[in-house]
Amino acid sequence: MPDQIKADTESMSAYSSKLTAPEMPPSLARLGTPPNLTGLFEGIAMSVLDKAATASMAAFMAKMTEEMVTDSTKVKTAALTYSAADVTSALELATSATKVLKQGIDLVKKTAGSGQQQPSTAEKPADQTASDASQDLV
């Protein structure tokens, strides 16, 4: 069709009157309107608020990181202290166990030795006289 109307101005005019521009998509509808001042101020305020929130969050994260490092150091120090205390307690326990074991061995030796001792003074030989027995009681 465009070949037929190339030189005919009336046909070109009739053809162009039937042509219409497509509708503007909703996403581009604001391009032709003047800026909304309320929206402009809201946008600026949201930008400032976003920057303040970002700075606040960064400060909070820095503080939390510092506290975590400090707590980690305290925990490591406490662990080393407890480890040293555990070693000391273990040595004291081993020393005490050795003393108790030695006392037990001494008691066993004493008990075993008392079974092999000479007869007690209550059992007197038959040839001892009554006067000798009375002197033993005193």
Mean pLDDT of 70-92: 83
Phi and psi of 124, rounded to 5°? Answer: -95, 145
Which tens digit of pLDDT belongs to each residue from 41-68? Answer: 888 888 999 999 999 999 999 999 999 9
* SS3 (DSSP) at 25: coil
Phi and psi of 3, rounded to 5°? Answer: -70, -30
pTM of the shown model = 0.35
For residues 66 and 59, give the distance between their C-alpha atoms in angstroms, rounded to a whole number. Answer: 11
Give the Cβ contact number of residue 26 at 10 Å. Answer: 7
DSSP state, residue 60: H
Token code pair at residue 38:
């309320």
Q: Confidence band (pLDDT; 50, 70, 90) for 31?
A: low
Q: What is the phi-psi region of residue 19: left when phi exceeds 0, alpha when psi lies from -120 to 50, beta otherwise? A: beta
Q: Confidence band (pLDDT; 50, 70, 90) for 33?
A: low
Q: Residue 23 pLDDT more than 70?
A: yes
Please tell me the least confidently modeled range out of 63-67, 100-104, 122-126: 122-126
For residues 2 and 11, give the distance between their C-alpha atoms in angstroms, rounded to a whole number. Answer: 10
